[in-house]
Structure 1
Amino acid sequence: MIVIEGTSKVTFGEGTLSELELAIYEKKQNSSTEYRYDSVDTLLFELYMRTQIMEASKALSASGVYFADFKHSMCNPAYWHITDHGRFQLKSGVAPQDAVRDIFTNGTSYAFECSMAVVVVLYKAILESIDSSHFDMLTSDLLLFDYHSNNNLHLIQRIANEEAVTGDVLYFENPEYEPMVPWGKGENVVMMENDHFFGHGYGLGIASKDVVIKVLNKQRIPGSTQSAFLTDRYVHPDFSYFALFQCRNRDKPIVAKVGDWTYVRKCRIH
């Protein structure tokens, strides 16, 4: 259930939410888990940013970025320095927004693992959701690696993957993977619409749960009996935090409170 300023009685006018935003909203609203928001604006920002995470996933999938383990990572030296551990460190004097966008426009200059792909997607979504000057301020020390090493993402951990919606980051574990293929131990993915996932490893792109598991199962040791599976844990950025930095010129909806109900509709300019 979604609770905004103490009430779950919220209704949206026709056209206020996109089809995807409405699907996300309805799943969270119909859940037994309580999701609290301090304002309608914070909820709308989350729905918008989740859409941007999906769009960034699609863009990275089509960008031409190669898959590589950390030892063989590759990047554009005009924007990044590769550390000994395969991390991408932003070069001095480079605007973070320019460096992130370069990954999507010059994809063939880059190669990295699935965990870094998720990080890249999340930073791109943040960039497209907040004021660009704020993005540069928040990520001035930008270091790309896995999402466990990126405090700037302000990730929140959750359990029970049945609660996950578009824009959440999940993990497929492969418990009996072939040790000679260490990247076969699992796959970091972004949840997309229609029960599909974006995964960078093995050229997955956007695929169903069954396809991700099938691909990982090909990397198991001979005689293995335990299939790869989708784990319960998942993460997502703290949307309420990033909502503080959203663009001021974003269209604001009309919000009216009548009794116990809150009515939200798109502001139409004639």
Structure 2
Amino acid sequence: MIQLAGVPFQQSSMWPIGGVEDIIVQRMNETPVVYSYDSIEELIFEVTLRKNIIASARMMNEGNARFETFEKSRCNPQYWQLTRIGGFRLKPNVPPSEAIEDIFENSSMYAFECATAKIIIYYHAVLNSLGKYVFNRLFQNLYLYSWHFDPDLGIHTVETNYFLPGDVVYFDNPDFNPDTSWWRGENAVVLEDGTYFGHGIGIETAQQIIVHLNRRRKPGGYRSAYLKNSAARLDFKHLAKLSVLTRSYPTYKPRHFVIRHNKSSISFKQYVFYLYKVYTQMHS
């Protein structure tokens, strides 16, 4: 359910009936989870950003960016430097907004694995929600590699089986074939119509994605792929506050280490585990 300033929020006529926003709000109200907001503007921001995540996922699906492992990743050299480990580093003096938009506008020049695809979708959706001025001030040092993310995105794991459109979920393939290790799992954006977008698979139902993964099991493997009960979500409230960023806002911030693991298609939770290990080692 949705609470607005501590009071239950009922479906209103703010959004077209049957539209993406209306469906998102319905899903929120149908779950036993309480989604609490301080203001209607905060709720509108999250619903709009979730809608933009869905739109960005569908746009990527309609484009020509290929799924590839880190070793075979490629990008447009006008905007990005391809690093030795298969990451994309923003070139100096390139506006971050233009570089992100180019991935969708010149998609045939790009190839990346599925975790990187989800980060790209998130950045593109945030750009369309915050606008170019705020986005370019916040994300001046973009680096795309696996689940590496800027702290202002605030991506975090939510343990739940109540998924909302715009969440990123993970289909685990416990008996994946090590010869095709990129099928260890699939990161997928939850869409509004009950389907999911996975880079390299496309838009399919949960069962169809599970069938895809089961076909890539190792010889003798018998454990079925399955949808994990967790979701990766942006920090919508933090981003809502940044949407009214003033010129005096300090844009310097501590940045996460890039965890070089060379494993395609890992979950966000797995990446955070690697990140946690590095920070633990540094402070032990």
Partner of 1:224: 221
**Matches of 2:181 and 2:140, distance apart in 1:** 32
1:84 CA drift (Å)? 1.6
Contact 1:196 1:209 in 2 (8 A): yes
**Matches of 2:50 and 2:17, distance apart in 1:** 13
- Runs (4 or more) in structure 1 with deviation over 4 Å come to 14-18
Partner of 2:35: 35
1:149 CA drift (Å)? 4.3
**Matches of 1:33 and 1:195, distance apart in 2:** 19
Letter matched to residue 232 of structure 1: N
**Matches of 2:9 and 2:243, distance apart in 1:** 26
Partner of 1:142: 142
Letter matched to residue 81 of structure 1: Q
Letter matched to residue 187 of structure 2: N
Q: Is 1:197 matched up with 2:190?
A: no
Partner of 2:78: 78
Unaligned runs of 5+ in 2: 246-284
**Matches of 1:59 and 1:9, distance apart in 2:** 32
Q: Is 1:244 matched up with 2:244?
A: no
1:247 CA drift (Å)? 7.1
Contact 1:50 1:167 in 2 (8 A): yes
TM-score normalised by length of structure 1: 0.86
1:151 CA drift (Å)? 2.9
- The two structures, once aligned, show a CA RMSD in angstroms of 1.7
Q: Which has the higher contact order (CA 8 A, sep 6+)?
A: 1
**Aligned with 2:205 (options 204, 208, 212):** 208
Change (3 A) 1:194 1:178: same
Q: Report which stretch shifted further, 142-151 or 108-117.
A: 142-151
**Matches of 1:4 and 1:156, distance apart in 2:** 23
1:69 CA drift (Å)? 0.2
Change (3 A) 1:169 1:78: same
**Matches of 2:14 and 2:58, distance apart in 1:** 27
The 5-angstrom pairing of residues 175-190 of structure 1 reads 175-190=174-189
**Matches of 1:186 and 1:15, distance apart in 2:** 35
Q: Name the structure where strand makes up a greater proportion of residues.
A: 1
**Matches of 2:150 and 2:9, distance apart in 1:** 36
Q: Is 1:156 matched up with 2:156?
A: yes
Contact 2:49 2:129 in 1 (8 A): yes
| Greater Rg over alpha carbons, structure | 1
**Matches of 2:98 and 2:14, distance apart in 1:** 37
Letter matched to residue 36 of structure 1: S
Contact 1:131 1:247 in 2 (8 A): no
1:13 CA drift (Å)? 2.5
1:236 CA drift (Å)? 1.1
1:16 CA drift (Å)? 5.9
1:164 CA drift (Å)? 0.8
The 5-angstrom pairing of residues 88-167 of structure 1 reads 88-161=88-161, 163-167=162-166
Query: What SS does the corresponding residue of 1:147 show, helix, strand or coil?
Result: coil
1:36 CA drift (Å)? 0.9
Partner of 2:172: 173
Alignment size in residue pairs: 245
Q: Deviation string for 1:9-29 (max 9, x for gaps)? A: 445236467622122112212
